Amino acid sequence: MKKHLIAAAVAAAVAVPAMAQNVTLSGYLEGSYGSIKDDGVSTSGFQGEGVFGGASNFTISGNEDLGGGLSVGFTLVQEFKIANRGYESSVTLANGTADTTQQRLTDSFAFVKGAFGEVRFGAVTYASRDLGGIYRFNGDFGRIASGFHGIGSDVNNSIQYTTPSFNGVTVAVATGKEDANGTRTAGKSNGAMLRFEQGPVRLGISQTAQTTAKAADITGGAVAKAKETIVGGSYALGTLRIGVAYAMDKPEDVACTTLATCDSTAATVQFDMPVASGVNVFGSYNAYTSKLADADGNGISLGVSQALSKRTKLFAAYNKNKNDTNATNTYRNGPSATAGQDNSRAVVGVSHSF
């Protein structure tokens, strides 16, 4: 009898439910064919870029419930180009160096979440970079480009805290430093965002600051700084959604001699509206200004999509930018524009999420 009681006790102890970890694979695929015209030269072919909803990617995420409202998990986002089996991107890190990578992870972080909010650790794209998607309705389509949204992306060794929602209000703060060892020559970034979302209204304001410390900083040399501030909001009028945003990029500690070293602004108005069963029309108007002489420009984006299912859409899109003599504005994921040259793109494609 004692043996049976001992065996039952052991079995009961082993049978205590373990906290299960749920790991999921999701992603997005997009391909398009079209024509790009830049500097008076037209080229056509398969695009394979984030024309409509964003870059193609695989996302692996996991979540483990620890009980008591506390959970931990991770997210890994791998972007790629379906046109050439890879992804290549050159970004300027906070320490001022260029980082050209293949098959890069755009986000790779672990998180802890509870009644206190959420904390992310790792390579985190700051919430302040795009106001948490307040004014954009179709991924990357019509997104402010031309150098904006560069601060706060690809920040390594970072941590971001987001509060719970209080009557529709959330706050996010983040900081990152390129050198995990904390040497003085490494750059750093800080970001903060205030967001309000209730009913048909979305509002937000954010600022991201970046310091690029040079090697000369060890002996008291100059430190280059830059700030990006974005305010925006959107409102749903029935099925019609309208969004606006205003962005300001301000390089500091440098003389205004080039586009990159001069203060600049961008304003955008965007809309999205279903017009029939599964059919949406959408578009945007962007205006760019710079303190550099003759460096203003504007752009329009128009598109239509047809849902074939909950996950698959056909789409057609058109982008066009007009530039002053010294302006190099282009559309999102467009080619590097030649100063003073207009550029445009017309594409048809398919997108699928899973």
CA–CA distance, 121 with 108 (Å, rounded to integer): 8
Rounded Cα distance between 212 and 334, Å, is 27
The answer to whether position 16 is within a domain reads: no
Instruction: Give the CATH number, domain containing residue 125.
Output: 2.40.160.10
Given a contact cutoff of 8 angstroms between Cβ atoms, the answer to whether 145 and 116 are in contact is no
Summarised one tens digit per residue, pLDDT across range 50-79 is: 788 888 889 999 999 999 999 999 999 988
Q: Say how many domains are in the chain.
A: 1
Lowest mean pLDDT: which of 169-173, 274-278, 339-343?
339-343
Q: How many CA atoms lie within 13 A of 121 on its CB side?
A: 7
Residue 10 maps to a domain: no
Q: Give domain status of residue 4, yes or no.
A: no
pLDDT, averaged across the chain: 82
Q: Is residue 9 in some structural domain?
A: no
Q: Strand 105-114 to strand 98-102: parallel, antiparallel, or no bridges (unpaired)?
A: unpaired
Task: Write the burial class of residue 23 (CB in 10 Å: 0-12 exposed, 13-18 middle, 19+ buried).
Answer: exposed
Write out pLDDT tens, residues 281-332.
999 999 999 999 999 999 999 999 999 999 999 999 999 999 999 998 888 7
Phi, psi of 219 (to 5 degrees): -110, 20
Residue-level pLDDT at 2: 47
Residue-wise pLDDT for 74-131, tens only, equals 999 988 878 776 655 555 554 445 555 545 678 899 999 999 999 999 988 888 877 7
Residue 65 lies in a domain: yes
User: Model confidence at 276, in pLDDT bands (50, 70, 90)?
Assistant: very high
More confident residue, 43 or 325: 325
> Residue 47 is part of which domain span?
24-353
Question: In this structure, is residue 328 part of a structural domain?
Answer: yes
Separation in Å, CA 53 to CA 83, 140, 254, 312: 16, 5, 36, 11
Q: Is pLDDT above 90 for 49?
A: no
Q: Judge whether 230 lies within some domain.
A: yes
Q: For residue 18, is it within any domain?
A: no
Which tokens is 249 given? 């990029």
The pLDDT, as a whole number, for residue 110 is: 97
**Residue ranges of E strands in 115-222:** 117-124, 155-162, 169-177, 188-198, 201-213
Which pLDDT belongs to residue 179? 60
